[in-house]
Every structure is written in C-alpha cells, then in structure tokens.
Structure 1
Amino acid sequence: MNTNSLISVVVIGHNEGARLSRCLQSVRASTYQPIELIYVDSFSSDDSIARAQTIADQIFSAHTRGAAAARNTGLMHAQGHWVMFLDGDTELDPDFLLIALQQLKHQSTLACVWGHRVERAPEQSIYVQVLDLDWRYRPGETEFCGGDALFRRAALSEVNGFNPLLLAGEEPEMCHRLRQNGWRILHLDTPMTRHDLAITQFTQYWQRTSRAGYAYAAVSASSRSFWANEVRHNLRQSAILIALLTLLAAGVLMHAWLALAAVSLLAALALRSSWRARWRSAHLPTLLMYGLHSWFAQIPISVGIYRYYRDQSAQKPASFGNYKEAKK
C-alpha cells in the first residue's frame, strides 16, 4: 500500500450506537481513496464494537479515559502519511478529504486542515439550534481546530500527538504546541462533517458547558499561557452576570426600579452579543437566543473552572461525565 497517498481515518467513540454506524459508513462513502478506517472504542457498554466490526478495517480499545488517549491509540496504529480524526457522532462530507489533502500537499507549513461542522438535526431542541452556531468559524488561519480535522502525520509526530492527561480541550492544546513549532492551522470554507449533538435537556446543556470551563482551566494550566485570557474573561463575565442577577433579586424584594435596571442591562448585554454574532446566522430568533446563551453559559463555565482547580487541589482525576448520558 502506498502510504504517501493513504489517509488513515481514526474514529473514536463511546456508546454512540447508530451514530457510529452512520459515521463509519460516511467514511466508506468518501470520494477520496485509498482510506484506512480505524475505530478506537473508549469503554463502550453498548454494541459499538460489533457495529464497527462490519465496517472498519481495524478496531482497538483505549486503555485510559479520554478522547486524547483514544486518538493517540489510533495514531499509533495508523499507516498513512495523513490522518483524519473523527468523533463517532459525526458524518464525513464525501468530498472533504480530497479538498483538504490538496491544501496540505500544496502548503508544506500546514499541519492541519479543517472545514465546517454543522448539526445534522438543529430542530431537535433549542439547545442544539443555539449551540449549532458555536461551530461557525470564519475561513482562514486559526489558532486551533476541533475534534474533526485532517493532519499531516509528520507534524503530529513532532509534538508527540495529543496530551493524554487532558480529558477535554486536547485539540486546542496540541494545536498550540504545533504553532509554537512553526506549523499552521487552516480552516477551509467547505463542508466537513455533520454532528449529532443530541442535547434535549437542560442537564445535558449544563454538563457540556461546564466541561468547556474545565477544559479552559486545564489547558491554561498545562500550557501556562494558552487560554489563560479565556479563563479570566469567563470569570469576569460570570461575576458581571451574578452581580446583575443579584441586583434583579434585590429589586424584586425592595425597589422595582432596581429590577428594571437589572433587566435592561441584561437585555442590552445579550443584544450586544447577538449583534456581534450576526455573521453566524440570518435567523433572528436563533441569534437572540444565542446572545442569551453567550451570557448565561458563563455560570456553568465558571463552575467547570472551579471544579478543575478543586480537583487539582485534592489531586483527584477529572470529575465530569458524558453529557449524552446525563438525561434525567
């Protein structure tokens, strides 16, 4: 097999069920060939491995928790010069690999190329409809990519892959190390994957958002610089929001004008966030909800930051779970 043209597609998953079958089949439907399809399972208790056995070329089991460890396992067994990582709840666009590989081959300083990820069913809940906008990024060079991206194998080897000690935020942290070594990350204006967020309840939304805060703190501590500003920003925004909610409560109990002032300020902040995000969507109701989400999310994000430092102080492992299994 010619490894110069071979793309190794590493799919990772945990209890993805039918989503995993769709993911693996979408890789098989790619217009690019040759492809080596590897599935790495992370302690699934469903029929994920049985599903993968009918489609994937190789199947492995991660020996430790986390997406970083699973991706490193796949990378260790991959044969191609190019490695595409996919989460098991995504579906690959049939033309992405062909388009992305052309960019990597023509630009020798590119370590990674990624495209647009969108939700496959944003109508399933208001949470998915709003969070779908979080996937929107402007094309061009970026600081980092997400879990779906095509990498140059040599660049991955140079930085020893993903940091297995991180249970969240592992892609931005690795991209930070790549950029420190002179590599570039490119976001293409082309479809890449469809994602199934599957959030239908508030408990899932809270857990996923709290996990993001945990990732901010963990990556900031690991890199000693990257995402440090994000941690400070989130804590500052959370303090503003809590102060306004406290003012609102005081106004309800004492003076109506205080409550009116608090509501007006909250509405102004949310509207400003909606206006700044107008390039993400032309749908006004979704934009307004996104503005509210941008502020409310600061509370669970700050909770996640606190949980990281609490776990570090107590020398405990990460304490968050799978938000898709958080339904009550």
Structure 2
Amino acid sequence: MSKVLIVAEHLGGQLNASTAKCVTAAKGLSPESIDVLVLSDDPAAVAEQAAKLAGVTRVLTVASAANAHAIAQVLAPQVAKVAADYTHVFGPSTTFGKDVMPCVAALLNAPQVSDAMAVEGPRTFKRPIYAGNAIVTVEVPEGVTVVATIRTASFAEAARDGSAAIETLNVEAAVPTHTRFVGLAAGSSDRPDLQSAKRVVSGGRGVGSAENFKIIYDFADRIGAAVGASRAAVDAGYCPNEMQVGQTGKIIAPELYIAVGISGAIQHLTGIKDAGTIVAINKDPDSAIFEIADIGLAGDLFQILPELQAAV
C-alpha cells in the first residue's frame, strides 16, 4: 500500500490552498495513509489548518528556527529524512514546490514527476508537455520513492472537515549554511491571490499602457477578482512579473476568467486551460482567444468594460 507524505506550503501562519489540492491528488492513489509535513519555526497554527483537510491521517510538525523561511536547501534535507518511511512525496507545482521538490528528489536519488495533472496508478501519472499541447503518461520505476509536484490547477481542494492527529517530530538532518535568507520582496495587494482566486481578470497588450491598466483594476475590484496579465503586457511594462499568467507565469484554474485585450498566444492559453468559464473581450474578432472562450465580446474594451462594470 502507498504511504504519501505531502510537504505543506504556508506563509505567515496560513496554509496555502495548494496543499489541499495535493491531498486530493494523493487520494487518487487510495493510499494507506496521507501525512502532511509542516516545517516552520512555529508550526502550530499551520498544523491546525492542515489537520482539518479531509483525508489527512496525520500532520507532522518540525519546529526549528532554521525553518522560519522557506529555503529549499534548508527544508529539503529534513523532508528527505522524514520521507524514508514513505512511498510517495508530493509537493505543489507552485514557486515553493518547484524550488523545494527537486532538491528532495536529488537527496532521495529519485526521478521527479513534474506538474502531475492526473493520477493513473500508484506509479503512473499524466503531465503536460509542449506548452500543454500534448499530454504524456510517465511511470516511475519500482524500487524508488515517487517524488512529484502536483499541478494545482488540475485538482480541487480537499474539504476542510477532517480532524487529523498532530504529532511533533525531531529530525536530525545536516542543514547547510551556505544558503541564507536575506529578505523577501513581495507585492502587497488587497485583492485575492492570483493562483487561488475564484475569479480573475487579466489584461493584455490591447490595454495599451500601464496607466490604462487602471480600467482592469477597477473592474476586478468591482467583482472581487484577482488581476492577471499576459506576457506581452508584462514585457511592455504595464504590470509586474508576478501578475503574468501562462506557461512562463502562473497556471491558474479560476471559476471565471475574463481576458481583456489578450489575443490568445499559446503560452497564455496554457495557463488558463482549466478555467471554468472564459470570457474574452477583444476588438479583433479573429483573435485566437475567441476559439477557446465560452463567451466572446468583439469590440473596444474601453467601451465594453465600463458598461459591464456599470451592469454589475
């Protein structure tokens, strides 16, 4: 039987929703147990949140001053030590997971399944390649630990009605000192987080300028949505990198996605393929975005968006 260890992603005492999605993926294995590992300087609050995830057997906490910040080279040796008793180690395919999990795989001398989007069997998974234009089935050899990052856009969050036990671990692992935390530079916003938001409004090159992006922010605020952008908009300096949606940005799966002034380049479509309802607003009726949109509005965004905002 499979035993799954999930590395929890958290920040500021809050468990990231990506962890709940990893639990859902783990359930697809019908495992003997699903344990969540919380590494922090003070893991109590995060552990309580993880314990409520339906399907979780135990929450394991490792408290150490070294774990105050999510540094892959510090966390990975501890994860590898704990993982010795497990057949599978999962982490989210987010910035956090993409940083930590390859280090874990290397320490376990195991191949990594990256961006798993479906669980086909105990050692068989599906993952996208070629910007999502093809789906490949990969199989992990017998005799090695299955290390995988989970494509969070492909799985729903586990319910929060569980009551798993919380246990404290003392992990003896050599923590390197050559990598040190210097500081965290992060944009602050009152809007929902882009990767977990139920509604997202994104602007593209068609918005025209950074000043014009205000129309996107205003509409997003009206409907309580997160704000994203195409790569073209980011490259043009309309908005910062952390807002980019697409293959080289964030992969998202909101219930509602509104693309404003976005033509629909393949790298952008890769990032929104799992969205529930896609609405496209573009003055060019032949834009590629209309081919995948559920609702398409061909016209001037500076006329259509204020009308929509007034209507809601």
TM-score by length of 1: 0.32
Give the structure with the larger strand fraction. 2
Give the structure with the larger helix fraction. 1
Query: Higher relative contact order at CA 8 Å, sep ≥6: structure 1 or structure 2?
Result: 1
